[in-house]
Amino acid sequence: MQPQTNHSTARSLSQDEIIQSVDFRFRICQFLFRAAVVWVVIGIVLFAIAFSAGILLSGLSFMAMTISLGLFTAAFAVTLAIYRCPVCDTRLSFFHSEQIDCAGCNVKIK
Ligand SMILES: [Zn+2]
């Protein structure tokens, strides 16, 4: 199927532009999820350090876990908002990265 846009004033996207656009959106979402995982690891390490020092509720560990929760929430929201087909705006599945065609318009996205 030929790439088309939803707006009559917009020009059509080439195949390379579609693939680059999806790849760029995927990297943004992946970065946010990875940043959240990093903060979970920091929180676990801080908790382990505090626990070994005899402190059950560490403020730093709680702070790191709160940051990671915020990042996970932001990553989820950003993924829903931007990880979409640039041609037909169908939501793409972030966790099925083997998907090579859009489910809505069958345009090649990888
Ligand atoms: Zn599509």
Q: How remote is the CA of residue 27 from the centroid of ligand 1, in Å?
A: 19
What's the pTM?
Answer: 0.78
pLDDT along the chain (110 residues), means of 10: 53 89 94 96 93 86 94 96 93 85 89
Q: How remote is the CA of residue 73 from the centroid of ligand 1, in Å?
A: 25
Confidence (pLDDT) at 10: 57
Confidence (pLDDT) at 21: 93
Q: How remote is the CA of residue 23 from the centroid of ligand 1, in Å?
A: 14
Confidence (pLDDT) at 90: 92
Confidence (pLDDT) at 11: 73
DSSP string computed for 73-89: HHHHHHHHHH-B-TTT-
Q: How remote is the CA of residue 84 from the centroid of ligand 1, in Å?
A: 8
Q: How remote is the CA of residue 77 from the centroid of ligand 1, in Å?
A: 20
How far, CA to CA in Å, does 100 sit from each of 15, 27, 107? Answer: 12, 16, 9
